[in-house]
Structure 1
Amino acid sequence: MTEHAQDNANVRTAMKMGLFALAMLGLAFASVPLYRVFCQVTGFGGTTQVAQEAPGAVAGEIGVRFDANINSALPWRFEPVQSTVRIAPGARTIVHYRATNLVARPTTGTATFNVSPVQAGPYFSKIECFCFTEQTLKGGESVDMPVTFFVDPAIRDDPATAHIDEITLSYTFFPVEN
């Protein structure tokens, strides 16, 4: 191989490696939104579905338990107003979580959520929720935040979920740095 041909091969290899590095960097930045979309579409990891309206109640009941967590860096108290409900699958249900800012200055947080057991994620649909939305509370302020949801009646038709009698909806609030 001539020196000129070797130089061309080296340049091509360097360009390929540079493009590969840029592609990997792009994927690193896109991974969180892509993962969120994947989870919302598939229900992977207990991710709930998003719906516009509930299909309507069917016979039977399923329990839903509500869990609230706070990252230690956020000076809030966060709790469900009601810790459990028993609902008919398909019924539109509204519950509230209460957040209280424990300091005198305004603070901002955002919540993430999950559902357990994870097999219930594809059947748990939220119509309205405060998750992934920045919430700013004034010093000492308390707010009630609604969650509107339903459990898809098809949960009883799936052999992997037919035995589930209780689902836990869990939120965790994290601080948002301004």
Structure 2
Amino acid sequence: MRIRSLLASAVLTALVCGPARPQNSPTLPTAQPSGIAFPIPIHLTVIPARPAPSPVKPDKSLDQMLDEFEALRAQKAELEKKEIELTKAIRTLMGKQVERISRLGIVPAVSAAPDRVGRIVITGNAGKDEKKILDAVKLTPGQSLAHPALEDARTRLTKAGYRKATVEVRPGETGYVDLEVKIGEE
């Protein structure tokens, strides 16, 4: 009778709370000489029932999507307008700073595009070695000029035997700079 009530309550619990699984394997009843069976100890773990899935949101209507699209376009236009204003303000302030730095003679003016080599003028005690000097400089008219290249050219001139050589940038035509290679007295 006890076993039946235990099984009935287990089945009823499983139906109400969800399926159950045993933690340990159940022990089988052992027969006693008197013929009385002991109840089977069963350890049940209750598995909570899964929550019902949330209802799927219906797709947006075409009007709702068009309204959202118009709002995004308006935000984009606002952001582009702010970007233009901010860029203009930055350029104005940058121009003032560059002008101030140029007046102080700290660094050369910043140009938007890289300079290109215009003419290469050799001055000083060059004699008939112009070709040798130009080969050591390794810069040609029309070439894009990176300022580390000037120091490299001076180093190559020194290695070629021109110890007092300098390479200086002079203003040239628009977008171009002229290079003056000065060869000092040895």
TM range (shorter): under 0.3
TM-score (normalised: structure 1): 0.27
Judging by fraction of residues, say which structure has more helix.
2
TM-score (normalised: structure 2): 0.26
Pick 1 or 2: higher relative contact order, CA cutoff 8 A, min separation 6: 1
The structure whose Rg is larger is: 2
In proportion to residue count, which structure has more strand?
1
